[in-house]
Structure 1
Amino acid sequence: MLGLAPGLAPARESPDVEVALGASNTTDREFTAVASVAWLPELRRMSNAVLRAEAGAVLVDGRGHVVGRDLDESVVVGHVGLRYERTDTGLTLGAGVGGQAGETDALSGDVQFITTGGWRWERFSLLVRHISNASLDSPNDGETMLVAGWRF
């Protein structure tokens, strides 16, 4: 643990908590609200990029009754992963793995994989995120979301 402390020191100097809100859809365009929070401590600074650890949670709100689909329950996905952020262009890419509380036709199974792509300008981010179990369990509809985030 003590060996990691010097590497985390720069993270305290820059914003490293991101809160995001947006909308998600699944296979038949059933939209719902989503919210997420992530801790993004800096792991390594490169000449034109930053590599960050990511630990967070995503809330996918239940959609209510949808005929023929089980989408009414809200689901929370806790996750860990990495995020790569370009400091010159703002390009942001991330990948992680997580577990969920709750289950729907869109998010089923115990393990979920999270991929993220988008752009960041200073404290503001615009991200597309996909959460899916990668066909480890059926059904495997997944959630694809567009979120706007603010880094604190």
Structure 2
Amino acid sequence: MFSPIHSSRALAGLVVVLLGLAAGPVAAREAADIEIALGASNTTDREFTPVASVAWLPELMQMHNAVLRADAGVVYVDGRGDVVGRDLGDSVVVGHVGLRYERTDNGLTLGAGVGGQAGETDALSGDVQFITTGGWRWERFSLLVRHISNASLNSPNDGETMLVAGWRF
């Protein structure tokens, strides 16, 4: 559950992360697509929290009715504050690289990547995280489900499953 204090802190954290990431190299922004996404994440016992991400998605290859893109970005998962019996208080930032496959005929979007994190909770523990993405894209707007987990390399392995809405620039 969100308290007013926690929600204000979460919003401020999301704004700082997005502004910092959006101020990246101008050449990268002009050369390829940048996607900014906001949403909510859930872990094992329905503990929801805000999330934000920024991804650089340069085109690698045109295929018949599809595009293959590199996917390099950062996902911010806000800390949940005090949760009884769980260590979910810290905010976590996961940097990642991978690939994203986008259909140009029906909007299907699939992605996979590997990343490293700063911060640790029961949901995101260990040094290596795997990121999977699925959803749909309409022009510049995307609706994506994303899962981040360490694939049981470290314990605990609760993971984060998020629903985000993104806008491509």
Q: TM-score, normalised by structure 1?
A: 0.91
CA contact (8 A) 1:15 1:151 kept: no
1:112–1:52 Cα change, 3 Å = same
1:20 aligns with 2:28: no
CA contact (8 A) 2:39 2:162 kept: yes
Of the two structures, which has the highest relative contact order with CA contacts closer than 8 Å and spacing of 6 or more?
1
Counterpart CA distance in 2 for 1:114 and 1:29 is 20
> Which residue number in structure 1 is paired with residue 104 of structure 2?
87
> Which residue number in structure 1 is paired with residue 165 of structure 2?
148
Q: How many residues align?
A: 142
1:133 aligns with 2:150: yes
Counterpart CA distance in 2 for 1:82 and 1:125 is 16
Question: Which amino acid letter does the alignment assign opposite residue 48 of structure 2?
Answer: F
- 1:47 to partner: Cα distance: 1.8
1:39 aligns with 2:90: no
Counterpart CA distance in 1 for 2:30 and 2:150 is 35
Q: Quote the RMSD (CA, aligned, Å).
A: 1.5
Write out the 4+ residue segments of structure 1 that deviate beyond 4 Å after TM superposition: 11-15
| Identity value in percent | 89
1:64 aligns with 2:81: yes
1:50 aligns with 2:50: no
Question: Which amino acid letter does the alignment assign opposite residue 28 of structure 1?
Answer: D
2:145 aligned counterpart, secondary structure: strand
- 1:97 to partner: Cα distance: 0.0
1:12–1:86 Cα change, 3 Å = farther
Q: Which runs of 5+ in 2 are unaligned?
A: 1-27
Counterpart CA distance in 1 for 2:50 and 2:135 is 19
Deviations 1:18-58 (A, max 9, x none): 00000000000000000000000000011200000000000
Question: Which amino acid letter does the alignment assign opposite residue 61 of structure 2?
Answer: R
Higher helix share: 2
CA contact (8 A) 1:15 1:123 kept: no
